[in-house]
Amino acid sequence: MTTDIQKKGTRNIRMLIIGDEILSGRRQDKHFDKLIELLSQRGMQLSGAEFVSDERDAIAAALVRSFSTDDIVFSCGGIGATPDDQTRQAVAQALGVDLALHPEAERLIAERCADNERRGQGSADMSLPENQQRLQMGVFPLGAEIVPNSYNKIPGFFIRDHTFMPGFPVMAWPMMEWTLDTRYRHLQHQSMRVEHSFLVFKLPESRITPALEEIERRWPGVRAFSLPSMGGTGQPHIDLGVKGEPEAAAEALAFLRAEVAKVGGELSPV
């Protein structure tokens, strides 16, 4: 089979997923698959992902490493205002800057409180303790810019090519899209890249490995891959393929299919 044509940007794009509830299994992460989907639609590709606990020092350590690169990073989780939300503080710690209430975030949070009051839910009086607590969600590291939240107006924030979003998909996913299309449109659909693969039966992986190694020697820009399956309810097989620049990948694919036939692999299950 042949996948859709993709194109790869010139910068690495990574994901940081923060939350003890993910690491403990109380909740299942949904952001990883969604970001891959959104990137693919824009001819971009995810380079890596990391899961981190809610511990402030652990988040800060991950961010110190991250800020030392020029990567584009999407971080989900931990930007609320309860004690287990430590991402905003960890960003400030990693960058060595102070935290302060962002004026635009303050305005948007006040708007949200006013919206709630009109719906008969709470008060727009920002001096009330609960609204003062809500304002903590607009306290960002100095130098940060807001990321609009189309769901409830309470923004995320952006600093040094890192976008920080809530853990809720209904809020985070539109923020991802907004960031990709507002800040990184120039990186979309750059150099051409394709991926081809096909299933092979009755072939041990060790027998085809030399051909995979030969592909990467002959076509330096092409990556070969082998994904074996133990069968499950069907026959054991290998998903073999190549990815890279279209012309070179097509040549490598033809070579790989010929090598499979040469060493006795079959393209159809018995």
CATH value at residue 18: 3.40.980.10
3-state SS of 44-68 is CCCCEEEEECCCHHHHHHHHHHHHC
For residue 7, the cross-strand partners are 192
Q: How many domains does the chain have?
A: 2
Domain boundary among 149, 172, 187: 187
Same-domain status, 215 and 182: no
Domain assignment present for residue 164? The answer is yes
Q: Indicate if 119 and 31 belong to the same structural domain.
A: yes
Whether 61 is in a domain gets the answer: yes
The answer on 170 and 128 residing in a single domain is yes
Same domain, 149 and 253: no
pLDDT digits (tens, 9 = 90+) for 12-53: 999 999 999 999 999 999 999 999 999 999 989 999 999 999
157 and 227 share a domain? no
pLDDT at 215: 96
Residues 81 and 147 in one domain: yes
Do residues 182 and 200 both lie within one domain? no
pLDDT tens per residue across span 119-154: 999 999 999 999 999 999 999 999 999 999 999 999
CATH of the domain at 236: 3.30.70.1130
Is residue 3 domain-resident?
Answer: no
pLDDT of residue 230: 74
Residues with Cβ < 8 Å from 139, sequence gap 6 or more?
A: 88, 99, 100, 101, 102, 105
- Cα distances (Å, whole numbers) of residue 208 to 5, 144, 203, 267: 26, 51, 8, 14
Q: Can you tell me the distance from the alpha carbon of 113 to that of 124, in angstroms, rounded to the nearest whole number?
A: 5
In whole angstroms, what is the distance from residue 167 CA to residue 51 CA? 13
Strand partners, 109: none
Q: How far apart are CA 216 and CA 259, in angstroms?
A: 14
- List of long-range contacts for 207-211, beta carbons under 8 Å, 24+ apart: 207/263, 207/264, 207/265, 208/238, 208/240, 208/259, 208/260, 208/263, 208/265, 211/255, 211/256, 211/259, 211/260, 211/263
154-185: buried (b, 16+ CB within 10 Å) or exposed (e) per residue? bbbbbbebbbbbbbbbebbbbbbebbbeeebe
- Same domain as 217, residue 104: no
Examine the domain organization and report whether 182 and 198 are in the same domain. Answer: no
pLDDT (tens, 9 = 90+) of the chain, 270 residues, equals 434 333 444 689 999 999 999 999 999 999 999 999 999 999 899 999 999 999 999 999 999 999 999 999 999 999 999 999 999 999 999 999 999 999 999 999 999 999 999 999 999 999 999 999 999 999 999 999 999 999 999 999 999 999 999 999 999 999 999 999 999 999 998 867 788 999 999 999 999 999 999 999 999 989 999 999 876 667 889 999 999 888 999 999 999 999 999 999 999 876
Is 112 part of a structural domain of the chain? yes
Tell me which H or E stretch contains 248. Answer: helix 246-262
Handedness of CA 127, 130, 132, 137 (dihedral sign): negative
Q: Is residue 58 part of a domain?
A: yes
Query: Two tokens at 116?
Result: 């709630």
In this structure, the answer to whether residues 180 and 196 fall within a common structural domain is no
Residue finishing a domain among 187, 208, 230: 187
Give me 217's structure tokens: 């020697």
Cα–Cα distance for residue pair 126/29, rounded to 1 Å? 34
Any domain includes 126? yes
Q: 267 lies in a domain? A: no
Residues 62 and 172 in one domain: yes
Sign of the torsion formed by the C-alpha atoms of 229, 231, 236 and 237: negative
Domain that holds residue 257: 192-262
- Of 187, 209, 237, at which residue does a domain stop? 187
- Candidates 181, 255, 189, 200; CA nearest to 222 is 255
Place of tokens 């949070």: 109
The reply to whether 91 and 221 lie within a common domain is no
